[in-house]
Amino acid sequence: MAEHYSSFERGGRRWLLQRLTAVFLIGVLAFHFFLLHFVNHAAEITFAGTQARMRQVSYFATMWLFLVTATFHGVNGVYNAFINQGLEGSRKRTVKWVLVVAGVLLVAQGTRVALAMNGFL
């Protein structure tokens, strides 16, 4: 039988955060699909409607948290996939920092778009 291997330390902080972000993402995705595919149908979604939703503090906060959580979950998952493939040493550090910079840029651009939709920019 194959041996179980994971770069996550069971019970560690990254392991726990990966699971918590997964649960949050499932909940927010369910909210997203319900709101934007069942309450409002795709043909009814407009730019003005998106701006109106983003002006609601609770919706804005939920979508921003969705952005940050999805970014962390994805970056952490990709990083650990590389570690599981045996990445070590300077390559590991390089990949880590490339992913950190990419994650920060993604959150910054997403925040910029969200603020523009909200009317702040």
- The full 3-state SS of 80-103, as one line of letters, equals HHHHHCCCCHHHHHHHHHHHHHHH
CATH class of 13-118: mainly alpha
8 falls in which pLDDT band (50, 70, 90)?
low
Question: Taking 80 as the threshold, does the pLDDT of residue 98 lie above it?
Answer: yes
Question: Taking 80 as the threshold, does the pLDDT of residue 11 lie above it?
Answer: no
Question: Taking 60 as the threshold, does the pLDDT of residue 1 lie above it?
Answer: no
Within 8 A by CB and 6+ apart from 11, the residues are none
Average pLDDT over residues 19-30: 95
pTM of this structure: 0.84
Interatomic CA distance for residues 75 and 22, integer angstroms: 13
Is residue 119 helix, strand or coil? coil
**Assigned token pair, 53:** 């939703």
